[in-house]
Structures are given as structure tokens and as C-alpha cells.
A and B are shown apart, each in its own frame.
Chain A
């Protein structure tokens, strides 16, 4: 094929098929004009392709940059967005549960501490009450024995001794229970008062700030 018309694009097949006519008479080799014309065309084609390549490279680089900038939004995944939304919702739920647990732990610990304080105090008070009751009852019993020692006429001495003993015991017990009752009542009242205080304190604490 002799070159007269060039195709739109430089292709290997075209280069393969190029055929140059021999030179005019008196000159050796191929027709110089045709060869030069071909080389000019090849050069212009190469320049065009190189430019195209550079432009494409720049395009690729630009796209890569854009992908890197928007890394969190991978093109494949609207799904990833959904995963993130669900994750945040889960974390919120976790936090609510943890807060509730923490609050209930604080209340339980506080209640246990108060319970122990109250029990310890009760024990201490109870032993004070018993000691006091015992002391008062002993005194009262002593007084009643003293009174009894003036014997009434007609009483047998033995009966008198028995009676005295019983009276003493009775006075002891009566006084003991009286003292206990009084103390317990006072103590119960003070307990009721502290429970009320506790309740108010809790209400104040739970009121929104």
C-alpha cells in the first residue's frame, strides 16, 4: 500500500503495512518526500498520544485525591453510614444501662451504710437502756426491801421473808420494764424522726436540678 491518505489513528497494523515507492529515476532508495511526510505524521500522532496520557494521569491523580479526602464515605457504602448510625444508637443504649446501674449501685451502697449505722447505734442504745433499767430497778428493789423490813403485826417471820423477796423481785421487774418502755418509746420516736429526715433528703436529692 502506498501512502497517500493517513488513517485517523496511528496503529501498529498501519505501520506494518506502510509501503514507500522507490525514488525517482537517478536517485537511490525510497521516495524522500513520502518518508518525511510519514515521519511528520508519526511524530504528530505521538505528541497527541503523550498529551492524552498526561491528561489521563492527571485525571487519575485528581480522582485518587478526591477519594482520599472523602475516605469515610467509601463509594460502595451507604451501608457503612448505616453501620455508624446503628453503632451510635447502641452506644446510647449502653450508656443508659450503665448509668442506671451506677445509680442503683450508689443507692444500694448508701442504704447499706445507713442500715449498718442504724443497727450499730441501736445495739449501743439497747445496751445503755438495759444497763440503766437494771440500775434503776436495783435501786427501787432496795427501797422496797427497806420498807418491808418494818414488819407488820401478826405476820410469820418466814412468810415475811418470802413476801419480802417476792416484793423485791416484783418491784425490780416493774421498774425495769417501766424504764425499758420509756427509753424504747423515746428511741423509737427518734428513729421515726431520722427516717423522715432520710426520706426528705432523698426526695431533695432526686429532685431535678
Chain B
């Protein structure tokens, strides 16, 4: 990394970060306290509880420092980070404040190991980080920093699951299968990822499938009573999970719980992307039949789409309306899927089990596309 014309000593930076990193959470704690004391107006950009935020900061710093000599990988990461921060209301004038507090934290935890040379290296490195992030954010100016949304529909489909319908004040273009970060006005500064559950519609409305995460701060409010007309903020669409429109192979889709959302969007996409869609088989799994929250809709879709077959699966009870077993088990009973493209979305455990099974059944690994809902959703 090059900054201010001076060659930054990569090894010195890594060693310095390693030393400072031994103090773990304390470093991030010091950093944010220092930042907010100097710039109290920034505190409002963050949620009440900062634990998750501190983890994210330390992870990002760790990633940056370990990649400091590897610009090919570091620059895209920083560019994403810069664009991602637009939705939080971050602007270029915030960067020097952050840099000063970062240096203060590093100085404080370096103790006697801190010296002018190290200070200059860190300042130069931060200068480059800020430059890349600001540059990427500027380059993204043709998009709004976030989209304002309104909840226009709320259907509670199961005790723990609701389907939300959202309209946005300006069009939000996305590829079916992608997701957005969402901030609910009644839970400010808590951003959670959700997949759009429909292909883009002429009226621009979006469906989201939300399941309550036990103890979660956001999902409970969204599922129980979010209030029609409540405001949301949506970040830019992200993710590479999408229909491979060039493939001619038949398709199998495996959904676990609300992992159905992006798969439903992909199915809708398939219906319009091709005049004659290839055969598609959706296996949608849940623990109990009561949690199969969208089967009526899916069956309606299958009734008008001769190329589509829907198989509900229930693992924790016997139910006459569904196959018994996990999605992986039901897939195994149905077919071999050797010639298929597979799309899998659900919990981390479900995705891992299903992917393993499909491989065993002969689906080529490069024809298995996954969306892992393993990120911490609450």
C-alpha cells in the first residue's frame, strides 16, 4: 500500500495491529468512545447496543490489515464498504474524525511500542482506506444512498411468520434472488438483511418473508404488528444468488423456512425470462405444517404454470398435505437431480445438508447455487 508518497511498512502495521488486537473488544470500545466524545453528533448513527458494531469494526480492520499488501482483494472490499456506508448517512467529512479516533485507540493500546514512524504508517494507511471508500461512495452517486419504503401490506401467516408488502418512493431495481438491508422506523439503526420474494413488478412493490428470531430486536416487531404505513429504509440490492438465464438444464429449488423468499423471486423470474421455461421442481420444507406459510400461493402458481411442480415437506410431524422428512430426504426420494441446476436457500444447517445430499445424488457442484441465511438475523 502506498500513501503520501511514502512506502508504508506492511510488517510494522501487521505487528502493531496484532499487539493492539490482543486487547480485543477494549480497542473498539475505546475507539467509539473517543469518537463520540469528540463528535457527539455521530452517536445517533449507531444503535443503543454497540456489541455487534464493535465486532464488525474489528473484523473489518483485521481483514484490511491482513490484506494490506494485497490490493487486488483489498480495494474491492473497501469499495463495497464505502458504498455500503452511504445508507448510514456517512459522508466524506466524517472520515478524518474516524481516522483521528482510530489513531488515538492505536496509540493508547500500543503503549511504549508506539513511535512517530508507526504513527506515520498508520496515518498513511488510513488515508488510503478513506480515499478508496470515499471514491467508491462518490462513484455510486447515481443511486440514492437508501430507498424510503412504506409497509402497505402485512399478513401473519403463522405464529412466527409474516409476509410484508412494501412500496418504495422511487424504483428499486434488483435482480430476483438479491436481498437488501432494511431498517424499520420502530427499531432505528438496526439493519437486517431480507430477500425480495418476488420478481420486479410494474407497480414496484416488494414482498418480504419475515420469521421471528427468538430474542431478536427487529423481526418480532415486523411480524407481530409493524403497522400499515410504517416507514422503512432499504439499502442497495446485494447478492449474487440469481437465475442462470443461459442454462438450459431443468431446475430444482430447495427452500427451508423463509429461505423460500429468493427462490420464489427466481421462479417468477423464470416464468417471464423464458417463453418456454424448463421443468422446475420446488421442494419447500418446514418443521411443522403450520409453518408452511406460502403453500396456497405456490400451488396457485403451479396450477397456472405447467412447467412447475411444488412439493411441501414437513420434518417434525406427519401431515397428509406434505411429504414427511427434511428437504434433503424428500429430494432423495423424488429424483436424482443429476441433470438439474439446483438453487438452495435456508438456514446454514439446511443449506449444508441439502448441498451435501445433492452432490451425493450427482448434481455437479458448479450447478448448485446457494444463499445462506447464516448471517446473524435478529
Question: Does A associate with B in a complex?
Answer: yes
Chain A interfacial positions (CB closer than 8 Å to B): 71, 79-80, 82-84, 86-87, 90-91, 93-94, 97-98, 101-106, 108-109, 112, 115-116
Residues in B neighbouring A109, C-beta threshold 8 A: 214
Contact (Cβ within 8 A) A101 B34: no
Docked complex Cα distance between A108 and B214 (Å) = 6
Q: Which residue of B lies closest to A116 (CB)?
A: B288
Q: Is the CB of A87 within 8 A of B29?
A: yes
Query: Among the listed A80, A83, A101, A115, which residue makes an inter-chain contact with B378, where contact means beta carbons less than 8 Å apart?
Result: A101
Assess whether B97 is interfacial by the CB under 8 Å rule. Answer: no
- In the complex, A83 Cα to B104 Cα: how many Å? 11
Q: Per a CB cutoff under 8 Å, which of A86, A91, A102 touches B37?
A: A86
Residues of A within 8 A of B305 (CB): none
Q: When the two chains form their complex, are residues B49 and A98 in contact, meaning their CB atoms are under 8 A apart?
A: yes
Contact of A91 among B29, B215, B288 (CB under 8 A): B29
Q: CB-CB < 8 A to A84: which residues of B?
A: 33
Most B CB contacts (10 A, CB to CB) among A79, A84, A86, A106 go to A86
B49 cross-chain contacts in A, Cβ below 8 A: 93-94, 97-98
* A108 with B34, Cβ < 8 A, contacts A98-B49, A98-B51 known: no
Q: Which 3 A-B residue pairs are closest in the complex by CB-CB distance? A: A105-B215, A97-B49, A86-B33
A79: chain B residues at CB < 8 Å are 34, 37
| Closest B residue by C-beta to A123 | B317
Identify A108's interface contact among B26, B36, B111, B215, CB under 8 A.
B215
Partner of A83 from the list B30, B51, B111, B216 (CB cut-off 8 Å) is: B30
**A93–B215 CB distance below 8 A:** no
In the complex, besides A101-B215, A103-B215, A105-B214, 13 extra interface pairs with C-beta distance below 8 angstroms are A79-B37, A83-B37, A86-B33, A87-B26, A87-B30, A90-B29, A93-B50, A94-B51, A98-B49, A101-B216, A105-B215, A115-B159, A116-B288
Q: Knowing A86-B36, A101-B215, A102-B215, say if A80 contacts B48 (CB, 8 Å).
A: no
B28 to chain A, nearest CB (A): 10
CB-CB nearest in chain B for A106 = B215
**B238-285: which residues lie under 8 A (CB-CB) from chain A?**
none
Which residues of A are found within 8 Å of B217, using beta-carbon distances?
A: 97, 101
* B222 neighbours in A (Cβ, 8 Å): none
- On whether the beta carbons of B214 and A93 are closer than 8 Å, the reply is no
A99–B220 Cα distance when bound, in Å, is 17
Chain A CB within 10 Å, residue with most, of B51, B111, B159, B214: B214
Q: Which of A83, A91, A105 has the most CB of B within 10 A?
A: A83
Chain A residues whose C-beta falls within 8 Å of the C-beta of B34 in the assembled complex: 79, 83
B44 to chain A, nearest CB (A): 14
Cross-chain contact B33 with A87 (CB below 8 angstroms): yes
Contact status B50-A94, CB under 8 Å: yes
CB distance from A80 to the nearest CB of B (A): 7
Residues of A within 8 A of B215 (CB): 101-106, 108
